[in-house]
Copies of this chain bind each other. A is one copy, B any other.
Amino acid sequence: MHSLSEENYLKAIYSQAKEGAHKITPTSIAEELRNNPASVIDMLKKLGDKKLLNYDKVKGARLTEKGTKIAIEIVRKHRLWEVFLLEKLGYSWGEVHDIAEQLEHIHYEDLTDRLDKFLGYPNYDPHGDPIPDKNGKIPATKWQALAEVEIGKKVKVMNVDDNSPDFLKYLDKQEIGLNSILTIKEIQNFDKSLLVELKGKKEIYLSPEASRKIFVE
């Protein structure tokens, strides 16, 4: 098996690739892992030796098939544990991420699949992120940032792009969660803030930053 550190690197690189980063650099990885580029370069060398990725200055870091597979397994575990923590232990969606960050590194024959079964084979985690299946297949999702939605449209919240406790607590306070139904009432000209109607409840203003982190269909 791979060390906790190695796994976190693979996951970080995978997630940047998934977000469409055109080049994954020591600096970008260091930022994500909150460590420094010199450390990252050491690790890139090591993971390169293990054939889990290729790194060169021009193309940046790219996971090999083997590396991708491992990253996806960790993502799968992470998201399944999040579901567990929310549904079975009653944590809020703002708390589950940090705990799953640890649980994702527990390895044992069959553990992930049993957890999956126990949870009833969920397709999405508490933040609306898709859970890879046993074979690493990930349901494609094609949601739209709330910021892109036209005025007047009625949409459903499917995903949030920022799992930080801060942001999620902010949404909790606004009473926005997954599956909330929103209608765009106004877009402020001066800063692109949105005025949205939260179905049946109230109207609220959302900052442009927030509206770029909320995905809907």
Task: Give residues in A with beta carbon < 8 Å to B.
Answer: 88-91, 95, 98-99, 102-103, 106-108, 111, 114-115, 118
Check B99 against A111 for contact (C-beta < 8 Å): yes
Check A89 against B114 for contact (C-beta < 8 Å): yes
Check B98 against A108 for contact (C-beta < 8 Å): yes
Check B106 against A118 for contact (C-beta < 8 Å): no
A164 to chain B, nearest CB (A): 16
Across the interface, which residues of B come within 8 angstroms of A115, CB to CB?
89
Check A90 against B107 for contact (C-beta < 8 Å): no
Question: How many angstroms between the C-alpha atoms of A99 and B118 in the bound complex?
Answer: 17
A151 to chain B, nearest CB (A): 42
18 A-B interface contacts by CB (under 8 A): A88-B118, A89-B111, A89-B114, A89-B115, A89-B118, A90-B114, A91-B114, A95-B108, A98-B108, A99-B106, A99-B108, A99-B111, A102-B106, A102-B107, A102-B108, A103-B103, A103-B106, A106-B106
